[in-house]
Amino acid sequence: MSEPIVRAVNLTKRYGDFTAVDGISFEVRKGEIFGFLGPNGAGKTTTVRMLSSLTTITEGEAYVNGYDVRKEKVKVKKSIGVVQDVSNLYDELTVEENLRFLARLYEAPMENVSKLIKDFNLPAKKKFGKLSSGFKKRASIVAALIHDPPVIFMDEPTIALDVRSAKMVREMVRVLNVSGRTVFLTTHNMVEAETLPHRIAIINHGRIVALGGRNEVRRLVGSEVRVRLKVEPLKSAIIHALEEYSPIFDEDSLLLKVEDVDTFMDELEELKRELGFRVLHISTELPSIEEVFLELTEEENGEKGCACGGCPL
Amino acid sequence: MMKVYAIIVKELKEYMLKPGAISWGLIFPLVFSLAFIARFGDIDHLVPGLVSISALFGTTSFVSSSIIFERRLRTFERLLLSPVSYGEIIVAKILVGTIFGLMVSTVTLLLVLHFMTYPLWSVSVTTLNLLLSNLTFAAMGVYISLAIFNPINVMTWLNIIRLPMMFTSGAIASLTLFPRWFLPIGLVTPMTYSVDGLRYGILYYYDVVPPLASALTMIFMTLLFTLLSIRSLRRLY
């Protein structure tokens, strides 16, 4: 296990009577992609703002790259690159001028500018305001790399992007990670949550409700296991008989929600004898991150579904 | 200082041609000056006031325009995320406002000089007072732009403050023509010191504040608004 590069201890942020982040503690290990998930208003952005010293910490401690966020702001700022949820470079400046400006602020070598423009295929002479939203995001990510920081904070990097641009951003996240950087990724996009992070924290109402590796987090909710079952021949009688397990078709298999796997296996044996079919494949799967996310955040919010009972919400 | 210089260059490229800076910062003071020239012809006694009004509107419009844009588009956070101190950011904003204000007020001065009966008394004293006026107004504009919580209200508040200043400072009519009780209002108006300082440099007389006192008060106000701006910035972020 590698050493922590970001550490939050009892981190709290209050705005008057409202507590946006409520005593959270976690560590981000060097070289990992850390997914910080949560619904809107859960405290994700406030946490990033505290860790990047953009807002003051009300209580608790935070360390980035070994530096105390409260006391060593300049060293923290030099250790991090921040990609915010908006693409906030300067519209009237070209991409190159924007990057040169930031290089001056960070006292980074000017060679970084031309290298990054080349590496990430950016239109150097085009004004930032004239770029497509995808290129704006790409340029914003590159801007965060100008001083070659070991830690990158990305706050909802694919929000409001089209499918192609979002995919490009996810690829950039992987490239950054492969190049040795630690990525702190806040998102409520479940595609990202399923594929990118090595470890995940789920925050809700300012508190961390799940923390661990992807599979660890998946195991956190309920005792329900998803069983993938492939039988031959597939008869409607089999589906009827398995109705209590809420069967759904997924490609050529049935996906079933099973609480007690032993009882289910006994029932399946009985059904095989009764209805005469062969089991070609059977396996168990953990719930998706999306399911875990919904369960953990819905429970907290008390929003299990629409009150009308008739719509799928 | 390299960081301050980088911010100044960036600001000039980004905000020089923004509508707020052009309309309130350039067109308004020039049209205002031309209106007085067309109406009165002999404008010698009005020149310091017109130049000071140009400096006030040039500086405050530029800095407020840039700060409103940066707060709304969150480019301000770019600066705050970089290893630049709050003081460097504020100083850069004040200096770039001063540069823009100097450009506008110098154009106004050159324009109105053509219509003066007497020649300008001292180029150096006028230049010094022009510089101090722009510094004071830029610092005041930065403070107002950061002190108001919602950036969309900044321009409204700025006008509520700076439009009456044209009358409470003696820029249009001498403060000696007003009742005695009005003088304290004039003395708490930063523009009074700018107008009297410029009046001394251009016409070799002053209205209510001696030249040295004007210069020292403007330096004091610049420092005060700079410190207040840093405090406002800390409160906002």
Mutate to test the interface with A, among B3, B81, B236 (most CBs of A within 10 A): B81
Q: Which member of B74, B75, B81 has the closest CB to residue A52?
A: B81
Q: Which member of B13, B73, B74 has the closest CB to residue A93?
A: B13
CA distance A186 to A45: 8
Q: Which member of A80, A86, A102 has the closest CB to residue B74?
A: A86
pLDDT of residue A222: 65
For residues A166 and A263, the answer to whether their CB atoms sit within 8 Å is: no
CA B204 to chain A, closest CA, distance in angstroms equals: 44
Average pLDDT over residues B18-23: 82
Are A92 and B75 a contacting pair at CB < 8 A?
no
- Exposure of A161 in the CB half-sphere (CA atoms within 13 A): 23
Percent of chain B topping pLDDT 70: 100
Which residues neighbour B188 within 8 Å (Cβ) at sequence distance 6 or greater? none
Distance from the first to the final alpha carbon of chain A? 41
pLDDT of residue A134: 87
Q: How many H-runs (helices) and E-runs (strands) does chain B carry?
A: 11, 0
Reported as a single tens digit per residue, the pLDDT across B48-64 is: 999 999 999 999 999 99
Q: Which helix (H) or strand (E) holds B103?
A: helix B86-113
CA distance B156 to B139: 18
Mean pLDDT of chain B: 91
Domain that holds residue B76: 2-236
Q: Which residues of A touch B79 (CB under 8 A)?
A: 105
Using alpha carbons, list the distances in angstroms from residue B229 to A180, A194, B1, B67, B234.
40, 45, 19, 12, 9
Counting one residue from A and one from B, how many pairs have CB atoms under 8 Å apart?
59
Q: Domains for chain A: give ranges and CATH numbers.
A: 4-218 (3.40.50.300), 225-286 (3.30.70.100)
pLDDT in tens, chain A (313 residues): 578 999 999 999 999 889 999 999 999 999 999 999 988 888 999 999 999 999 999 999 999 999 999 999 999 999 999 999 888 899 999 999 999 999 999 999 999 999 999 888 899 999 999 999 889 988 999 999 999 999 999 998 888 788 888 888 888 889 889 988 999 999 888 888 888 899 999 998 999 988 888 777 777 766 677 888 998 888 888 888 888 888 888 878 888 888 888 888 888 888 888 888 888 888 887 777 877 788 778 754 544 443 333 343 3
pLDDT of residue A1: 57
- Segment of A162-166, B66-70, B123-127 carrying the highest mean pLDDT: B123-127
CA distance A180 to A157: 19
How many folded domains does chain B comprise? Answer: 1
Q: Which residues of B touch A86 (CB under 8 A)?
A: 73-74
Average pLDDT over residues B188-214: 94
Which pair of structure tokens corresponds to residue A112?
């970084």
Q: Which member of A54, A90, A105 has the closest CB to residue B84?
A: A105
Using alpha carbons, list the distances in angstroms from residue A110 to A114, A133, B10.
7, 26, 16
Q: In what order do the strands lie in the sheet with A151-155?
A: A80-83, A151-155, A182-187, A33-37, A199-204, A207-213
**CA of residue B81 relative to chain centroid, distance:** 29
Are A104 and B83 a contacting pair at CB < 8 A?
no
CA B165 to chain A, closest CA, distance in angstroms equals: 33
Looking at chain B, how many residues does it have? 237
